[in-house]
């Protein structure tokens, strides 16, 4: 493949080349890329804003993460934050710090991932910035969304007897990461060794190409269910549940046998001699939704696919505990992903 040096087309040429194929989708986007600032109009809606910073070597490893997948994932994890507020993502900006080892074609791969994510979730790319970097690749994404004021869901609304729900399954992204790291070590010693990913496609996808749970937010709205508290699971179920309980001044009980785990995750954990429950509680990067609903909504929740009731909210003095398969209570601790540790 031909390699075009970034310096040969300049910053404005690079921006034009990377962004010219992004159409405007949303009526709230009056002006996107091409001026000093984007122009948005949200009328009576509340505006939601979230930002993520991703650093090479801290948040991703380009030894096994394709640039197209990285672009898709970087966008989707921001969309997930907006859905976790019961909102809808509408616009995003992308800023990059790029070292000289990356070509224009490399960045086009990254932006192809952004473009697919924007198309799948109905989001407009409306701006950003690029800069030279001495430390590899840095990605900063800001996502802007909208919601009706009365429909926004915060972390602080959980009440005793509320049901604790999670979507999808947990621990899969973490087990996918363990698989990639294992094969990276094997590959580094012998470049003739081919990675062994057979039968592991699901956990690899959960790590490399996660999806935001737009479908669940739409299903809850259609069923007339308003969560009392909600957030997405980026750092692990245990950590996120502690956030909700802390901000809601509440305790909780969740049940080990109710935590949803995929078959491939369980097999991978057994192969690596790891506890799949520990991975589900603390692995992170699942980008599933953790939310609480009134017990009065039990009959509405049960028919919905992809939602699992894993426990309930209690009074704060009762603490935060996982109830094991034998009825034993294990105190929950925040042991999830921490980029500053």
Q: Which fold has domain 163-331?
A: Phosphoribosyl-aminoimidazole Synthetase; Chain A, domain 2 (3.90.650)
How far is C-alpha 289 from the geometric centre of its chain's CA atoms? 9
- pLDDT reported for residue 42: 93
Task: Report the CATH number of the 6-151 domain.
Answer: 3.30.1330.10
- pLDDT reported for residue 70: 98
- pLDDT reported for residue 184: 87
Do 118 and 71 form a contact (C-beta atoms < 8 A)?
Answer: no
Q: What is the pLDDT of residues 272-327, one digit of tens each?
A: 999 999 999 999 999 999 999 999 999 999 999 999 999 999 999 999 999 999 99
Average pLDDT over residues 233-246: 96
Q: Above 60 in pLDDT, residue 336?
A: no
Query: For strand 88-98 and strand 124-132, is the pairing parallel, antiparallel, or unpaired?
Result: parallel
* β-sheet with 138-147: strand ranges across: 46-55, 138-147, 88-98, 124-132
Do 125 and 15 form a contact (C-beta atoms < 8 A)?
Answer: no
HEC profile of the chain: CCCCCHHHCHHHHHHHHHHCCCCCCCCCEEECECECCCEECCCCCEEEEEEEEEEECCCECCCCCCHHHHHHHHHHHHHHHHHCCCCEEEEEEEEEEECCCCCHHHHHHHHHHHHHHHHHHCCEEEEEEEEECCCCCEEEEEEEEEECHHHCCCCCCCCCCCEEEEECCCCHHHHHHHHHHHHHHHHHHCCCCCCCCCCCHHHHHHHHCCCCCHHHHHHHHHCCCCCCEEEECCCCHHHHHHHHHHHHCCEEEEEHHHCCCCHHHHHHHHHCCCCHHHHHHHCCCCCCEEEEECHHHHHHHCCCCCEEEEEEEECHHHCEEEECCCCCEEECCCCCCCCCC
Average pLDDT over residues 3-16: 84
Altogether, the residues listed in the chain come to a count of 341
Q: What is the pLDDT of residues 48-94, one digit of tens each?
A: 999 999 999 999 999 999 999 999 999 999 999 999 999 999 999 99
Q: What is the pLDDT of residues 248-266, one digit of tens each?
A: 999 999 999 999 999 999 9
Q: Above 70 in pLDDT, residue 244?
A: yes
Q: Above 80 in pLDDT, residue 268?
A: yes
- pLDDT reported for residue 340: 44
Q: Where are the domains of the chain?
A: 6-151, 163-331
Among 6-15, 118-127, 268-277, 308-317, where is mean pLDDT lowest?
Answer: 6-15
Q: What is the pLDDT of residues 150-195, one digit of tens each?
A: 999 999 999 999 999 999 999 999 999 999 998 888 777 666 667 7
b/e 236-253 (16+ beta carbons within 10 angstroms → b)? bbbbbbbbbbeebebbbb
Do 232 and 81 form a contact (C-beta atoms < 8 A)?
Answer: yes
335 falls in which pLDDT band (50, 70, 90)? low
Q: What is the pLDDT of residues 187-216, one digit of tens each?
A: 776 666 677 788 899 999 999 999 999 999
Q: Please provide the average confidence, as pLDDT, over all residues in the chain.
A: 93
Q: How many CB atoms lie within 10 A of CB 22?
A: 18
Do 227 and 153 form a contact (C-beta atoms < 8 A)?
Answer: yes
CA dihedral 224, 230, 231, 233 (to 10 degrees): -80
């Amino acid at each position: 493949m031909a390699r075009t040096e970034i310096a040969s087309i300049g910053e404005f040429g690079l921006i034009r080349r990377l962004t010219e194929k992004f159409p405007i989708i949303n009526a709230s986007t009056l002006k996107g890329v091409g001026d000093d600032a984007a122009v948005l109009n949200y009328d009576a809606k509340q505006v939601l804003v979230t930002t993520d910073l991703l650093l090479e070597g801290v948040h991703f490893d380009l030894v096994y993460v394709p640039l197209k997948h990285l672009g898709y994932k970087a966008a989707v994890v921001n969309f997930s934050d907006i859905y976790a507020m019961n909102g809808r993502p509408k616009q995003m900006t992308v800023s990059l710090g790029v070292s000289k080892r990356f070509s224009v074609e490399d960045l086009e791969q990254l932006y192809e991932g952004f473009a697919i994510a924007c198309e799948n979730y109905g989001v407009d790319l409306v701006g950003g910035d690029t800069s030279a970097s001495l430390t590899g690749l840095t990605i900063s994404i800001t996502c802007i969304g909208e919601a009706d004021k009365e429909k926004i869901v915060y972390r602080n609304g959980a009440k005793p007897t509320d049901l604790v729900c999670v979507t999808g399954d947990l621990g899969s992204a973490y087990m996918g990461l363990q698989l990639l790291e294992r094969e990276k070590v094997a590959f580094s010693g012998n470049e003739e060794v081919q990675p062994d990913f057979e039968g592991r496609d699901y956990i690899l996808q959960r790590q490399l190409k996660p999806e935001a749970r737009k479908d669940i937010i739409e299903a809850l709205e259609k069923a007339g269910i308003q969560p009392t508290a909600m957030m997405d699971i980026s750092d692990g179920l245990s950590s996120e549940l502690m956030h909700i309980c802390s901000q809601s001044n509440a305790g909780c009980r969740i049940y080990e046998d109710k935590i949803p785990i995929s078959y491939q995750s369980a097999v991978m954990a057994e192969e690596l001699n790891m506890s799949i429950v520990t991975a589900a509680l603390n692995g992170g990067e699942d980008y599933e939704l953790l939310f609480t609903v009134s017990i009065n909504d039990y009959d509405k929740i049960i028919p919905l696919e992809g939602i699992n009731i894993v426990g309930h909210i209690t009074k704060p003095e009762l603490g935060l505990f996982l109830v094991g398969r034998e009825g034993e209570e294990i105190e929950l601790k925040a042991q999830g992903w921490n980029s500053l540790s």
